Amino acid sequence: MKQIKHFIGLELKAGLKRRMALIMLIFTLFAILLPVGTAVPEDSENNLTISKDGFFDGIITYLKNLYPGAERELQTSETISKAAIEDVQQSADSGRVVLKIATPSVVKSASLIGDSNLGIFAHLSNPPLMKMDSEGRLVGQLAESYNVSENNTCWTFYLKDDLYWSDGEKVTPQDVEFSIRYYGKKTPWAGWINETLESSTISEADNSVTFKFNKPYTRVNMEFVTYNILPAHIWETIENPMEYLNNGPYVGCGPYYLKMIDLNAGKLIFEKNPYWKGKVSEFENVEVHLYSNVDVATLALKNGDVDTYYKYAGSYPYSGIEQLEKTGDFDFLEKTDIGLVFLSPNLKKAPFSDPGFREALTYAINYEEIARLETLGYGEVPNRGFVPPAMENFKETEKLEYSPEKAIETLEKAGYSDSNGNGVLEGKDRKDIKLEILIRSEYARTGELLEEYFERIGLSVDLKTVDADTWVTLKDSYDYDLTVTRSTPGVCLCTQVGEAAILIPDGQARE
């Protein structure tokens, strides 16, 4: 007892001690749970039924508070309105035809402009001016047509005249002008607009908007494939769009508008735009289901929980195709992926600054093996040239060839030989060539294959596998000899990495 006194200054019986231990355990649990449970004002409305009192009342209150409540002042913008939820429940009950899309491109924040994945899905509700059609051509989306001045500084977009916002307002050239200028001023990734846009003019007569840039710009039509058009009458009051969080609904002008974002349920819900005058879809709602795991997304598709699968500029996982085929429930359509994977040499330093060396290395790569191993046979040996077959302006050139003998012969002709007989070719400075290949972790296997191919022709390779961020840092400081990376049609990456590139087999998308 003396010792107990020493600890807490009280005499405790054994039973009391046990009870205290239990109370401490329970207290610990509730001390952790309490802050969240008390975070919402008591008078908050809720979407969950709350009983008057008792232990379960506490649990219910806790669950209620987890749900982004309407009254939490800080989270007002994240609120999912009760009406929206009831609407969605009614839609589900009424048996409306719903298209469910599974995607591994998870939306992390309910910021239409700040979240890149949400921006991609919002093409459905807030379509950009332009789009890429199924043949890879750039065509108008909200724009009926467009033209560009001879010196590539003036771009005029003529809008379709049957476009309406989901609140009944007509889509005007002012909306387009506002959206483009808004992006330029308010977002870092569109800062180029703010820096280069000299003026913009609107013509009500021909429903057009003209952008005049202070320097020639040849790919504005491509850039405007990604900028969602916003209703000026809604967004002009929002000072900081990057930080504007809203779980919907958002006013849209596409065939659908974004009705609700519910990240805890892992879904986005689009509903038909009642003022849409274009081709009418048979689906009343489109639901985008967000899966953090590709395997689960493919299982959901196979199981019929969702109707289709989408990944931006990427293919359905090759390993899952056979399983889908076995179900007999799917029709398959193969199209070449518009995303491209390529090898990019560092032209700023030897030996890749030498065209002869680069030419030799094109023969060293076993493209068929890469296609077999990386894309499970769904890829094909690429052509010379950077533009992939799925895109406009693709030129049919000769296929890249795998021939280690030719590679060695070309290297010899270009002046690379193993004069000291140690098995490693020497550069023009007479030192052994050691290529530093910079690989992002997702291309680790490709990197290992390249290492094997290059060593086969007498080159020593140092494979450096890094995370995406480190890759960007090293790439920007030109701290590599060769790198493997991926690009999508709208990216300027190739100009940053280097002017020369060797495509490597990328797969084909199956829908």
Partner 1 sequence: MLEIAKKVTRYFASFMLITAINFTLPRLMPGDPVKNLIGEDAYVSEKVTEELRAELGLNMSLSEQFTSYLSSLLHLDLGYSYHLHAPVAEVLLNKMGWTLLFVGISVVIGSFLGVFLGALAGWKPERKASRFTSFAFVVISCIPPYFLALLTLYIFAFKLGLFPSKGFYDTPEIGSVLYHLFLPTCVMSVFSASRNFLVMRGSVIQEKEQLYALYARAKGLHDTGILFRHIVKNASLPIITLLALDFGFLLSGALFIEIVFSLNGMGLLIYDAIMGKDYPLLQGAFLVIAFTALLTNMLADLLYALIDPRARRPA
Residues 70-109 that bind partner 1 (CB under 8 A): 74-75, 78, 80, 85, 88-89, 106, 108-109
To partner 1, the closest distance from the beta carbon of 334 in angstroms equals 26
| Cα separation, 112 vs 85, whole angstroms | 19
H helix intervals, 67-190:
82-93, 116-121, 173-186
* Residues 211 and 197 sit within 8 Å (Cβ to Cβ): yes
Closest to partner 1 by CB, 351 or 489: 489
Within 10 angstroms of residue 350's Cβ, the number of other Cβ atoms is 14
Closest to partner 1 by CB, 78 or 177: 78
To partner 1, the closest distance from the beta carbon of 335 in angstroms equals 22
Determine the 3-state secondary structure of 421 from DSSP.
coil
In the set 246, 376, 490, 500, which binds partner 1 (CB under 8 A)? Answer: 490
To partner 1, the closest distance from the beta carbon of 249 in angstroms equals 17
Strands (E), 321-420: 334-336, 340-345
To partner 1, the closest distance from the beta carbon of 403 in angstroms equals 34
User: Which residues in the 105-144 window bind partner 1 by CB under 8 A?
Assistant: 106, 108-109, 111, 114, 116
Tokens read off for 402: 């795998």
To partner 1, the closest distance from the beta carbon of 377 in angstroms equals 25
Closest to partner 1 by CB, 113 or 371: 113
In the set 133, 325, 452, 467, which binds partner 1 (CB under 8 A)? Answer: 467
H helix intervals, 263-388:
294-303, 318-327, 355-364, 367-374
Does the protein bind partner 1 through residue 193 (CB under 8 A)? Answer: no
To partner 1, the closest distance from the beta carbon of 50 in angstroms equals 10
The residue range among 157-165, 344-352, 357-365, 466-474 that interacts with partner 1, by the rule CB under 8 A, is 466-474
Question: % helix / strand / coil in the chain, to the nearest 5?
Answer: 35, 20, 45
In the set 134, 218, 303, 419, which binds partner 1 (CB under 8 A)? Answer: 303
Does the protein bind partner 1 through residue 20 (CB under 8 A)? Answer: yes
Tokens read off for 136: 């890879």
H helix intervals, 466-507:
468-476, 493-497
Query: What are the CA-CA distances from residue 292 to residues 304, 310, 372 (Å)?
Result: 18, 13, 27
| Cα separation, 314 vs 488, whole angstroms | 9
Closest to partner 1 by CB, 109 or 460: 109
In the set 36, 41, 161, 332, which binds partner 1 (CB under 8 A)? Answer: 36
To partner 1, the closest distance from the beta carbon of 67 in angstroms equals 5
Closest to partner 1 by CB, 131 or 464: 464
Determine the 3-state secondary structure of 308 from DSSP.
strand
Closest to partner 1 by CB, 145 or 293: 293
To partner 1, the closest distance from the beta carbon of 272 in angstroms equals 21
In the set 133, 161, 206, 295, which binds partner 1 (CB under 8 A)? Answer: 295
Phi and psi at 97, nearest 5°, equal -80, 120
* Closest among 186, 220, 179, 228 to 202, alpha carbons compared: 179
- Cross-strand bridge partners of residue 290: 103
Closest to partner 1 by CB, 17 or 413: 17
Closest to partner 1 by CB, 191 or 216: 191
| Cα separation, 497 vs 348, whole angstroms | 10
User: Which residues in the 214-253 window bind partner 1 by CB under 8 A?
Assistant: 242-245
Does the protein bind partner 1 through residue 195 (CB under 8 A)? Answer: yes
Phi and psi at 372, nearest 5°, equal -70, -45
User: Which residues in the 324-363 window bind partner 1 by CB under 8 A?
Assistant: none
In the set 70, 98, 238, 299, which binds partner 1 (CB under 8 A)? Answer: 299
Question: Treating both helix axes as pointing N-terminal to C-terminal, what angle do 318-327 and 294-303 enclose, rounded to 10 degrees?
Answer: 10
User: Which residues in the 468-487 window bind partner 1 by CB under 8 A?
Assistant: 468-470, 472-473, 476
* Residue 443 CB partners (closer than 8 Å, separation 6+): 341, 484, 485, 486
In the set 10, 11, 25, 415, which binds partner 1 (CB under 8 A)? Answer: 25
User: Which residues in the 44-73 window bind partner 1 by CB under 8 A?
Assistant: 47-49, 60, 62-63, 65-68
According to DSSP, residue 310 is labeled -
What is the distance, to the nearest Å, from the Cα of residue 38 to the centroid of all Cα atoms in its chain? 36
The residue range among 172-180, 389-397, 398-406, 464-472 that interacts with partner 1, by the rule CB under 8 A, is 464-472
| Cα separation, 456 vs 435, whole angstroms | 13
To partner 1, the closest distance from the beta carbon of 350 in angstroms equals 26
* Residues 338 and 391 sit within 8 Å (Cβ to Cβ): yes
* Closest among 487, 478, 364, 380 to 414, alpha carbons compared: 364
Binding track over 254-293 against partner 1, x by CB under 8 A = --------xxxxxx---------------------xxxxx
Closest to partner 1 by CB, 3 or 134: 3
